[in-house]
A and B are shown apart, each in its own frame.
Chain A
Amino acid sequence: MTRDRGWLGIAGVVAIGLVLSLALTERYHHRILTLVFLWATMGLAWNIISGYAGQISFGHQAFFGIGAYVTVLLAAKLHLTPWLGMLGGAGVAVLAALLIGTPTFRLAGIYFGLATLAYPLIFRILMDFLGYQEVAIPMVRDHPVLFMQFEEPRTFDLLALALLAATLVLSRLIETSRLGYSLRAIKENEQAAEAMGVDAFRCKMAAYVLSAAPAALAGAIYAHAILFVVTPDGVFGVIAIVQTLTVCLVGGVGTLWGPVIGAAIMIPISEILDATAGDRFPGIQGVVYGATLMAIMMWAPEGLFWRLRRRPASVARATPVVPTAATAEAPAAAPGPVQLEVRGISKAFIGLQALADVSFEVREGEILGIIGPNGAGKTTLFNVLNGFLLPDRGEVRWLGQPITALRPHLVCRRGIGRTFQVVRFFPHLTVLENVMVGAFAHGDAPGAARERARDALGRVSLAGQADTLPAGLTTLELRLMELARCLATSPRLVLLDEPLAGLSSDGVEMMAVMIRRTRAAGVTVVIIEHTIQALVKLADRLVVLDHGRRLAEGAPGDVTRNPAVIEAYLGKRWLARHGPDHAATLRP
């Protein structure tokens, strides 16, 4: 979607809202309209943390309730106007989001969702305990406007519409910002995002704080327009989060249109049902919401918006062409000073010593191959180098500085990029957007990041596929895209985890050219492979790992003649029969 269409859409929603507000005459219809706007706002707020960032929160009504309670209590106890009170409520909600988020974002996936359940329940019990089972909004007849007490029901839906418009604008700004891309990357693959320099914790916190404020304001307006008497059950109760979830899931998650569509459909239905059948069947709303959630999950889990939206037209495919050797090959420069020092790294998992006292150095401008049979500890080594794992012992130094305890995004920002054994792409981002996530590592604005990403795609001959989704790429193209994403972080050294795995011989050749080009551009390369053949041609030096230990190190020719290496690969018997000089199978 282009920039302008997004803003036009928001203007359209506001215009339709205004027309409806002016056209409707009955008080009851205005009530429904207000509710549609408020729950759309609440849905948008939830969507920021749970839709964009993918951190499903089952406790978002905590902020809604805080907004309602703080505003009404300030008016009742201190006689403060709710216009200021609701800002106070939003402030308290932001503070609560910081306090809740700091520990809770240490949890991943399902644990995060379960932990969020607890907060509104705690608030609910506390409000009961503090004697705030029912807090009425004080009637102030002298200053109705100052105390948000309007005779005219239209005023409330205009107020709610203004909040909805503001939240739409906020969502739109997030969607098109660096934060928005980072959040979507975190949702799709948090580790890959961190390896590309995204500070996942800070991004999630930012999203959480930004989603708490609109929820609190919606709560404050809800209290004045609908409730009049705030109760723990009314604002912290299950139905508040259920309505929020339902409008988002029905409409579609991860887009600003989803909650608006969902609220426009679900709120009128449930209100009308409640008004016509609520007396005879208490709980009918709950049944409708519950059945809707079930039906959506069974038949349209992506929501109406994504279901109705046409997929972007696929771009004419141009398979990347292997550049001719002349343009790509660059003479191997003499190795420069030591960049990366690995000293005595050990790492054990339960019952398995993955790395035992591994040491080696990487020099600027070289291509270093790390080889070893499966299970030798190669990927564990990379995970230690890029900060995913903390070693049990040992130290990693980068340009003379210790980086052992640095978190992955900081390792990336210092100039160490990496790729993964199984390509970790962001499936719902286009190829260009995938690479942009890497380009953001140096604090670019989206426009500059887009340029940097295009440039990186061009360097791996993948510019033609910029606007497709990664699902349409071949294995080679995925590996190239991941290399481009890694290069977009402007690394000085790249860690490539089996970049040749699963490629055809043409693909291997293409990848080898790209790797040489990368080095020619001044980037040091460290490659993991489990087949020696592929690396002997490519690497300047090899380090051999076996069962977590460094078995050998040296020039490819020497290493392939090393009896210990041959034994690790081919076994003792083979060595006894053929001797080290016949290790032809290990050579190209």
Chain B
Amino acid sequence: MAASELAQYVVTGLLVGGVYALMSIGLALIFGIMRVVNFAQGDFMMLGMYLTFYYAVALGIDPLLGALLSIPPFFVLGLLVHRAFLARVTGGGDPNREMDAQLILTLGLSLVITNATTMILSPMPRSINAPYASKAFAVGPLLLNQARTYSFATALLLAAAVYAFLTRTDLGKALRAAADDPEAAGYQGINVRTMHGVAFGIGIALVAAAGGLLASYHPIEPNVAVNFIVLMFVAVVLGGLGSIPGAFVGGIVIGLVQSLTLLLLPLQLQNVGVFVAFLIVLYVRPQGLFGRRARTV
């Protein structure tokens, strides 16, 4: 196999991985701050795809801009969903029970969103015909799909913005404090419940934006949620549950694994490669690449 062919697979994987990274950051943020594994993350991504689709169809807005315009409404939606559902579920003080209960709550939410979308919008796949979706930049011997390249760049910018927000702003620091030690944060006057709502809002907004970016080159249908939530889980576990840089790297790695699996296995088995990578990482390093192993006792 020529080196250029391998390079092409790597580049394609990287470009796709950038969008995976953005959606995984949303999931990692929610887990890192709220200790909630959000099963409905894929469904919010799917809704983000639809919003971008309607922005494009009804208002003629370019999907890249549409993706960014999805952020405010989904942030508000996240706040509402948190207030209406997640904030009401506790495990009776037992953190493990609470985690299980939240997981099942979001699984229920995911079912409702997928199936309600199917009922209302029909299962028919749709797509946005972005003018650049079928064009490519030629860089030496490599071809870079334009839609994927633009999406990759936008995803990178958004990820950098999130990182700056968390590390540089007061609100970002308050969020991290609420994650590190909810009790101590409460004594410092940080409203932990509000912080959880904000975290959920940001997490949902990011995955919706990632969905919008994805919509520029991926068909839009209610069932995409299932496939992508699993990829997000894999990316987040790979990076270490709750670690945001970890999720970013995890997303990129998933893109690469998917792409490189094609060298060994037929297209149908693409995700088997991802799951096998997932299981290997879980067994070898359950705390993930960037996670810290919890102390026993």
Q: Which A residues are within 8 Å of any B CB, using their own CB?
A: 56, 103-104, 106-111, 113-115, 117-118, 121-122, 125-126, 128-129, 191, 238, 242, 245, 249, 281-287, 289-298, 301, 349-350, 379, 383, 388-389, 420
The reply to whether B296 and A281 contact each other, CB–CB distance below 8 Å, is: no
The reply to whether B96 and A383 contact each other, CB–CB distance below 8 Å, is: no
**Among all A-B residue pairs, the 4 with the closest Cβ atoms:** A290-B111, A293-B108, A286-B115, A283-B115
* Contact A290/B297 with A114-B37, A117-B230, A125-B272 known, Cβ cut-off 8 Å: no
14 contacts between A and B (CB under 8 A): A107-B286, A114-B37, A115-B278, A117-B230, A118-B278, A122-B272, A122-B275, A191-B297, A286-B114, A287-B112, A287-B116, A293-B105, A297-B101, A389-B297
The reply to whether B278 and A294 contact each other, CB–CB distance below 8 Å, is: no
Q: What residues of chain B lie closer than 8 Å to A117, measured between beta carbons?
A: 230, 233
B144 CB–A CB distance under 8 Å: no
Q: What residues of chain B lie closer than 8 Å to A295, measured between beta carbons?
A: 108
The reply to whether B108 and A297 contact each other, CB–CB distance below 8 Å, is: yes
- Residue of A245, A281, A284, A287 with most chain B CB atoms under a 10 A cut-off: A287
- Residue of A118, A191, A245, A281 with most chain B CB atoms under a 10 A cut-off: A118
B103 CB–A CB distance under 8 Å: yes
Q: What residues of chain B lie closer than 8 Å to A238, measured between beta carbons?
A: 111, 226
The reply to whether A245 and B107 contact each other, CB–CB distance below 8 Å, is: yes
Q: How far is the CB of A289 from chain B (nearest CB, A)?
A: 6
Q: How far is the CB of A385 from chain B (nearest CB, A)?
A: 12
The reply to whether B85 and A294 contact each other, CB–CB distance below 8 Å, is: yes
Q: Which of B99, B119, B226, B268 contacts A125 (CB 8 A)?
A: B268
Q: Which of B97, B230, B296 contacts A121 (CB 8 A)?
A: B230
The reply to whether B275 and A121 contact each other, CB–CB distance below 8 Å, is: yes
B169 CB–A CB distance under 8 Å: no
The reply to whether B119 and A297 contact each other, CB–CB distance below 8 Å, is: no
Sort chain B's interface into a size bin.
Answer: 35 or more
Q: What residues of chain A lie closer than 8 Å to B88, measured between beta carbons?
A: 298
Contact with A along B88-120 (1 / 0, CB 8 A): 110110001101111111011111111110110
**Chain A residue, CB-CB nearest to B117:** A283
Chain B 232-280 interface residues, beta-carbon cutoff 8 Å to A: 233, 237, 241, 266, 268-269, 271-272, 275-276, 278-279
Q: What residues of chain A lie closer than 8 Å to B275, measured between beta carbons?
A: 118, 121-122
Q: How far is the CB of A121 from chain B (nearest CB, A)?
A: 6
**Chain B residue, CB-CB nearest to A281:** B119
Q: Which of A107, A110, A294 contacts B109 (CB 8 A)?
A: A294
The reply to whether B115 and A114 contact each other, CB–CB distance below 8 Å, is: no
Q: How far is the CB of A399 from chain B (nearest CB, A)?
A: 25
Q: How far is the CB of A466 from chain B (nearest CB, A)?
A: 24
Q: Give A286 to B283 CA distance when docked, in angstroms.
A: 33
**Chain A residue, CB-CB nearest to B40:** A290
Q: Give A281 to B103 CA distance when docked, in angstroms.
A: 27
Q: Which B residues are within 8 Å of any A CB, using their own CB?
A: 37, 85, 88-89, 91-92, 96-97, 99-105, 107-116, 118-119, 123, 222, 226, 230, 233, 237, 241, 266, 268-269, 271-272, 275-276, 278-279, 282-283, 286, 292, 295-297
* Contact A298/B123 with A191-B296, A379-B297 known, Cβ cut-off 8 Å: no
Q: What residues of chain A lie closer than 8 Å to B269, measured between beta carbons?
A: 125-126, 129
Q: Give A281 to B99 CA distance when docked, in angstroms.
A: 32
Q: What residues of chain A lie closer than 8 Å to B103, measured between beta carbons?
A: 56, 110, 113
Q: What residues of chain B lie closer than 8 Å to A284, measured between beta carbons?
A: 115, 119
Q: What residues of chain B lie closer than 8 Å to A350, measured between beta carbons?
A: 292
- Residue of A103, A110, A242, A285 with most chain B CB atoms under a 10 A cut-off: A110
The reply to whether A287 and B230 contact each other, CB–CB distance below 8 Å, is: no
The reply to whether A292 and B268 contact each other, CB–CB distance below 8 Å, is: no
Q: What residues of chain B lie closer than 8 Å to A287, measured between beta carbons?
A: 111-112, 115-116, 119
**Chain B residue, CB-CB nearest to A238:** B226
Q: Give A111 to B100 CA distance when docked, in angstroms.
A: 12
Q: What residues of chain A lie closer than 8 Å to B116, measured between beta carbons?
A: 283, 287
- Residue of B104, B110, B241 with most chain A CB atoms under a 10 A cut-off: B104
**Chain B residue, CB-CB nearest to A187:** B96
The reply to whether B112 and A297 contact each other, CB–CB distance below 8 Å, is: no
Q: What residues of chain A lie closer than 8 Å to B101, measured between beta carbons?
A: 297, 301
The reply to whether B296 and A107 contact each other, CB–CB distance below 8 Å, is: no
The reply to whether A291 and B108 contact each other, CB–CB distance below 8 Å, is: yes
The reply to whether B108 and A129 contact each other, CB–CB distance below 8 Å, is: no
The reply to whether A115 and B268 contact each other, CB–CB distance below 8 Å, is: no
Q: Give A282 to B105 CA distance when docked, in angstroms.
A: 22
Q: Which of B96, B110, B241, B279 contacts A290 (CB 8 A)?
A: B110
The reply to whether B111 and A129 contact each other, CB–CB distance below 8 Å, is: no
Q: Which of B104, B271, B272 contacts A297 (CB 8 A)?
A: B104
**Chain B residue, CB-CB nearest to A292:** B108
Q: Which of A108, A191, A286 contacts B112 (CB 8 A)?
A: A286
Q: How far is the CB of A96 from chain B (nearest CB, A)?
A: 14
Not counting A284-B119, A290-B109, A301-B91, a sample of 11 additional A-B residue pairs whose C-beta atoms are within 8 angstroms of each other reads A103-B279, A104-B282, A107-B282, A107-B283, A110-B99, A115-B278, A117-B230, A118-B278, A238-B226, A245-B104, A297-B105
The reply to whether A129 and B268 contact each other, CB–CB distance below 8 Å, is: yes
Q: Which of B104, B113, B114, B296 contacts A383 (CB 8 A)?
A: B296
Q: Give A110 to B286 CA distance when docked, in angstroms.
A: 11
Q: What residues of chain B lie closer than 8 Å to A113, measured between beta carbons?
A: 37, 100, 103
The reply to whether B99 and A109 contact each other, CB–CB distance below 8 Å, is: yes
**Chain B residue, CB-CB nearest to A113:** B103
**Chain A residue, CB-CB nearest to B236:** A114
Q: What residues of chain B lie closer than 8 Å to A245, measured between beta carbons?
A: 104, 107
**Chain B residue, CB-CB nearest to A50:** B100
Q: Give A291 to B97 CA distance when docked, in angstroms.
A: 20
- Residue of A115, A287, A297 with most chain B CB atoms under a 10 A cut-off: A297
Q: Give A122 to B89 CA distance when docked, in angstroms.
A: 32
* Contact A106/B111 with A128-B268, A301-B101, A383-B297 known, Cβ cut-off 8 Å: no
The reply to whether B296 and A111 contact each other, CB–CB distance below 8 Å, is: no
The reply to whether B89 and A283 contact each other, CB–CB distance below 8 Å, is: no
Q: Which of A118, A283, A389 contacts B296 (CB 8 A)?
A: A389
Q: What residues of chain B lie closer than 8 Å to A103, measured between beta carbons?
A: 279, 283
Q: What residues of chain B lie closer than 8 Å to A128, measured between beta carbons?
A: 268
Q: What residues of chain A lie closer than 8 Å to B233, measured between beta carbons?
A: 114, 117
Q: Give A141 to B64 CA distance when docked, in angstroms.
A: 60
The reply to whether A106 and B271 contact each other, CB–CB distance below 8 Å, is: no
The reply to whether B279 and A115 contact each other, CB–CB distance below 8 Å, is: yes
Q: How far is the CB of B92 from chain A (nearest CB, A)?
A: 8
**Chain B residue, CB-CB nearest to A497:** B297
The reply to whether A283 and B114 contact each other, CB–CB distance below 8 Å, is: yes
**Chain B residue, CB-CB nearest to A302:** B92
